[in-house]
Amino acid sequence: MAEMNLLQAINQALDLAMARDKDVVCFGEDVGHFGGVFRATSQLQEKYGSARCFNTPLTEQGIIGFANGMAARGLKPVAEIQFADYIYPAFDQIVNETAKFRYRSGNEFNVGGLVIRTPYGGGIAGGHYHSQSPEAYFAHTAGIRVVIPRNPVQAKGLLLAAIACPDPVLFMEPKRLYRAAVGEVDIAYYETPLDKAEVVQSGCDVTVLAWGAQMEVAAKAVVLAELEGVSCELIDLRTILPWDQDCIVDSVLKTGRLVISHEAPLTGGFAGEIAATIQQRCFLYLESPIARVCGLDTPYPLALEKEYQADQLKVFSAIMDTVNF
């Protein structure tokens, strides 16, 4: 075990994966000698050479198109998109190509080795082009997996599992927590399942569900609610697509209440999908309407970021309103 932050855990996962398998190749803008703008790929070019860890030209659609081709050849590209806000030029390559490669060819070809890493989310005074949480766009696309870790332990295990996975994976990293989230991490190789939620804390009055950086906010809200005598079950969804329905259903059957919180705007957000499913599967057990605490349906602001965010007080309020419905 060693103490490390989320970035170091990602860097170690990439290092282990490249050491184990020469087919693992890391690339993206500034990823080479510089180690990426956040330093997630530090030292990898020095260790594995510039053929396996390199800078690309500034073209997101080129990076993902190139990665698709490399994965189709049987390699395991780990392509970095510098900010999730800049993933849209690659949207066509991800949604129409990555996600459909295996299906459209009847499994003649696939891009199973592909992992797309991208930092997402707000709270860093980044304004609307450095703060978006676009997971819901990709959750609508069958054929890819969408994974969001919340801490260093998860980041390492989930990233190693993503690289080993026979399906292409979009791996979204909470950049606000890159250096803020620190923990004891096993320095050996390990994988964390890509389709399981994690029950972080048991409780009996209400289920509180979030993922990625929003888990920190949810955990603070749970502490506030507990001071009011409310017992919360806190769950990290961990993988957005496919998502662990059964885990959430089991919890809501027990608590009868659900509060879902994410950073992204409310309308069309992934909380809507979860709410619809839980409503269908737990209808007779629900004690109150499912609550969603999300960003506003606006672009992400700069100066009024604090007001915009689904912060712990908003989540706390939703928990109390749900319990007292």
By CB under 8 A, name the binding residues for other proteins.
Answer: 25, 51-52, 54, 56-57, 59, 61-75, 77, 89, 92-93, 96-97, 100-110, 112, 142-143, 145, 165-167, 195, 242, 245-246
In the bound state with other proteins, the residue whose beta carbon lies nearer, of 245 and 298, is: 245
In the bound state with other proteins, the residue whose beta carbon lies nearer, of 65 and 269, is: 65
In the bound state with other proteins, the residue whose beta carbon lies nearer, of 247 and 294, is: 247
Find the shortest distance in angstroms from Cβ 98 to other proteins. Answer: 10
| CA proximity to 146, closest of 120, 179, 183, 180 | 120
In the bound state with other proteins, the residue whose beta carbon lies nearer, of 147 and 213, is: 147
Dihedral through CA 173, CA 129, CA 61, CA 143, nearest 10? Answer: 50
User: Of 97, 130, 173, 262, which is the active-site residue?
Assistant: 130
Calpha distance 302→280 (Å, rounded) = 38
Dihedral through CA 299, CA 305, CA 307, CA 313, nearest 10? Answer: 110
Find the shortest distance in angstroms from Cβ 218 to other proteins. Answer: 25
Q: Calculate the alpha carbon distances from 154 to 23, 111, 137 in Å.
A: 23, 24, 23
Calpha distance 213→201 (Å, rounded) = 17
Find the shortest distance in angstroms from Cβ 185 to other proteins. Answer: 28
In the bound state with other proteins, the residue whose beta carbon lies nearer, of 70 and 259, is: 70
In the bound state with other proteins, the residue whose beta carbon lies nearer, of 3 and 92, is: 92
User: Of 60, 80, 97, 198, which is the active-site residue?
Assistant: 60
Find the shortest distance in angstroms from Cβ 205 to other proteins. Answer: 28
DSSP code string of 214-268: HHHHHHHHHHHHHHTT--EEEEE--EEES--HHHHHHHHHHHS-EEEEEEEESTT
Strands of the sheet with 232-236, listed across from one edge: 198-201, 232-236, 206-210, 258-265, 291-295
Calpha distance 320→291 (Å, rounded) = 11
Find the shortest distance in angstroms from Cβ 105 to other proteins. Answer: 4
Dihedral through CA 191, CA 258, CA 204, CA 241, nearest 10? Answer: -10
Question: Is 130 designated active site?
Answer: yes
Strand intervals (E) in 6-92: 24-28, 53-55, 76-80
Find the shortest distance in angstroms from Cβ 275 to other proteins. Answer: 16
| Active site members | 60, 130
